[in-house]
A and B are shown apart, each in its own frame.
Chain A
Amino acid sequence: MDYIDPHIHMVSRITDDYATLARMGCVAMSEPAFWAGFDRGSVDGFRDYFHQLTDVEPRRAAQYGIQHFTWLCINAKEAENVSLSRDVIAMIPEFLDKPNVLGIGEIGLNKNTKNEATIFLEHLDLAVEYNQLILIHTPHLEDKYQGTRMILDMLCSDSRIDPSRVLVDHVEEHTIGEVLDRGFWAGMTLYPVTKCTPERSADMIERFGGERLLANSAGDWGPSKPTAVPDLIFEMRRRGLSESLIRKVVYGNPIEFFSKSENFRFVERDSGEAGSLS
């Protein structure tokens, strides 16, 4: 089955991973800007990173028939440095016209601090000013619930934000309901130990249905499995869930959400027609 991984950090992966993903049916992916495993020291460090996301990775992916899209921001961990964050936010518009940029992300919270919240709000201003989609990182482990609620508080108190243009990622059993109830898109991250297994994700799909729900591998520099989405497909098939529901979650939903960005010019493998779901 063709699928789209809507959240995978390919700058952390070797080229063989692109080949493996292509063999597993991955036809497109989106890569949010995130932490690189170390704190960068200057705005030029981010400028180089954004060049990698908007130029290098799309070419690397294309060698394997995969369409690569991306999101730009300074992540929550490095947002503790408010001065650097503001320099990066001021520089982001240089890249917003690049053809694979879908929006601002993954912005969010890490340890739920004042500095992180301040920079999150300034990213929202940027997204509104440039009419960009928003992709949001929610914290890990014991900080996830409070952080997700803080993020929803900030989003819902801003009348400029359209929930249908926002994807709140890394939802789990205690956060998915409120994210969907408030009209946002929700992403489940299939990640060892700290996030979701394919089995628990399939449970959430059974409970909440497939509407506005996406699944991703994260596939970052930490312990992670870039082929986790095919694992979810396998688990859903094992349970006898319908092919139409599986396809909706791993293919139709990413297309529907990403299509809200003018830069999402996706060419479907079957029809060759841009943006077609038939």
Chain B
Amino acid sequence: MPRTADQILEESFLDVRAKLLAVAATLDRIDRAAEQTGGLSEAQVNRRAQVDAAIEICVGDGPDRAEKLQRLFSRTYQPEWRTTMHL
């Protein structure tokens, strides 16, 4: 008998709450440091934007958020790699 959505949320709620708090606190920490020591470098601005995009995926609909996050954090597949590498 598969678990119901209610059961899964009940079992996972505190764990999800803790993980969301950890993310929120990390973003706060980055912002505080940016205020005190200057903003993010260009490379880190891109990473920060990736985090925002990941959060948007999490609040979106659909059962495949984990796969979408994985693709967000992946380099794009270059199908012509063999030609590029002369292999």
Would you call B74 and A240 a contact (CB within 8 A)? no
- What separation, in Å, do the CA atoms of A146 and B80 have in the docked complex? 11
Residue numbers in A under 8 Å from B2 (CB-CB)? 240
What's the dominant secondary structure at chain A's contact region?
Answer: helix
Interface residue tally for chain A (C-beta within 8 Å): 21
| Interface members, chain A 74-133 (any B CB < 8 Å) | 112, 114, 117-118, 121
Which B residue sits closest to A239, measured CB to CB? Answer: B3
- B interface, by DSSP: helix, strand, loop or mixed? loop
Q: Which of B21-29, B34-42, B53-61, B65-73 contacts A (4 or more CB under 8 A)?
A: B65-73
- B73/A141 in contact, CB under 8 A: yes
Tell me how far the C-beta of B41 lies from the nearest C-beta in chain A, rounded to whole angstroms.
18
A73 to B77, CA, bound (A): 26
Chain B residues near A149: list those with CB within 8 A.
77, 79
Known: A173-B66, A173-B67, A173-B70. A145 touches B85 (CB 8 A): no
Tell me, rounded to whole Å, the shortest Cβ–Cβ distance linking B68 to chain A. 8
Residues of the A chain whose Cβ atoms lie less than 8 Å from the Cβ of B66: 173, 200, 203
Query: B1 an interface residue at 8 Å Cβ cutoff?
Result: yes
Q: Is the CB of B67 within 8 A of A146?
A: no
CB-contact partner of B77 in A117, A121, A146, A240, under 8 A: A146
A270 at the interface (CB under 8 A from B): no
Question: In the complex, A174 Cα to B79 Cα: how many Å?
Answer: 16
Given A153-B82, A240-B1, the answer on whether A114 and B87 have CB atoms closer than 8 Å is yes
Q: Which residues of A contact B3 (CB under 8 A)?
A: 239-240
Contact with A along B4-28 (1 / 0, CB 8 A): 0000000000000000000000000
* Chain B residues whose CB sits within 8 angstroms of the CB of A172 once the complex forms: 70
Kindly identify, within residues 143 to 165 of chain A, every residue whose CB is under 8 Å from any CB belonging to chain B: 143-146, 149-150, 153
Besides A146-B75, A173-B66, 14 other CB < 8 A contacts?
A114-B86, A114-B87, A117-B85, A142-B73, A146-B78, A149-B77, A150-B81, A173-B64, A173-B70, A174-B67, A174-B74, A203-B66, A239-B3, A240-B2
Interface, chain A (partner B; CB < 8 A): 112, 114, 117-118, 121, 141-146, 149-150, 153, 172-174, 200, 203, 239-240
24 contacts between A and B (CB under 8 A): A114-B85, A141-B73, A142-B73, A142-B74, A142-B75, A144-B70, A145-B70, A145-B71, A145-B74, A145-B75, A145-B77, A146-B75, A146-B77, A146-B78, A146-B81, A149-B79, A153-B81, A153-B82, A172-B70, A173-B64, A173-B67, A173-B70, A174-B70, A174-B71
Binding site for A on B (CB under 8 A): 1-3, 64, 66-67, 69-71, 73-79, 81-82, 85-87
